[in-house]
């Protein structure tokens, strides 16, 4: 009768397979030696203020539909020296950049209509190596993560507005101080001019008097 079970191999074949699996202790040197290479991500001078797993989409205007950009970890990174914060997201397996843009004043992230786990925002993104106006949608595993992302994102955008207002106020104060200094110099300048004119006039007057004195002295000296 026919059977689907595999036929038993002869004993000598089984022993040969068993011997192949045994560790002989021999060491085989690799043909090519690979050296460890340091990989830079561009994030070495930044600290993560937010780090959440998510899936990112971008709106394709031509196709009029959302297209997936990748699943991975979205981060808000703060630069150690400048203090600027940017959003960076990479695909989990390939580490390809899905989004890369600064969070600036005027930006605002809002909940996606009909889905409490998703939110949307506009940005000038540099993920493809050139600045593009993008409409992003990001989806999280929980409502809590989505709210945490929205809160932190909007806090950063609002802080950028405060920084800009503070900078404008500082620039205005500096301008007013400069104008005050210039006005003071302008007021002092005529006084210096008047003083110079008075000194010149006195000099003119003193020269004839000096000449008269010299003349009188010459007349007083007896001739020999």
Q: Tens digit of pLDDT for each residue in 12-39? A: 545 544 554 455 666 666 677 767 666 6
Pairwise CA distance, residues 85 & 75, whole Å: 10
The residue among 89, 86, 98 whose CA lies nearest residue 157 is: 86
Per DSSP, 3 falls in state -
Q: How confident is the model over 105-124, as a mean pLDDT?
A: 95
pLDDT surpasses 70 at 130: yes
Which band of pLDDT confidence, cut at 50, 70 and 90, is reported for residue 1?
A: very low
Predicted TM-score (pTM) of the model is: 0.59
pLDDT value of position 42: 80
**Pair of tokens at residue 187:** 């007021």
**Pair of tokens at residue 115:** 């889905």
Q: Tens digit of pLDDT for each residue in 131-160? A: 999 999 999 999 999 999 999 999 999 998
* 102 or 210, greater pLDDT: 102
């Amino acid at each position: 009768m026919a059977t689907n079970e595999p036929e038993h191999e002869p004993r000598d074949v089984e022993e040969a397979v068993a011997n192949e699996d045994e560790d002989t202790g021999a060491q085989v040197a690799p043909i090519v030696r690979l050296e460890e290479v340091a990989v830079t991500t561009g994030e070495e001078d930044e600290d993560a203020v937010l780090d959440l797993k998510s899936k990112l989409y971008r709106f394709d205007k031509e196709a009029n539909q959302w297209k997936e950009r990748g699943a991975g970890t979205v981060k808000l990174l703060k630069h150690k020296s400048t203090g600027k914060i940017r959003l960076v997201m990479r695909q989990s397996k390939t580490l390809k950049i899905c989004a890369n843009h600064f969070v600036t004043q005027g930006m605002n992230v809002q909940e996606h209509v009909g889905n409490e786990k998703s939110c949307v925002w506009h940005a000038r993104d540099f993920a493809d190596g050139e600045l593009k106006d993008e409409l992003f949608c990001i989806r999280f595993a929980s409502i809590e993560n989505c709210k945490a992302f929205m809160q932190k994102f909007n806090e950063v955008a609002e802080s950028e507005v405060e920084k800009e207002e503070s900078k404008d106020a500082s620039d205005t104060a500096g301008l007013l101080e400069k104008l005050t200094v210039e006005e003071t110099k302008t007021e002092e300048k005529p006084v210096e001019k008047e003083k110079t004119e008075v000194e010149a006039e006195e000099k003119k007057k003193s020269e004839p008097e000096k000449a008269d004195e010299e003349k009188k002295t010459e007349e007083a000296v007896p001739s020999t």
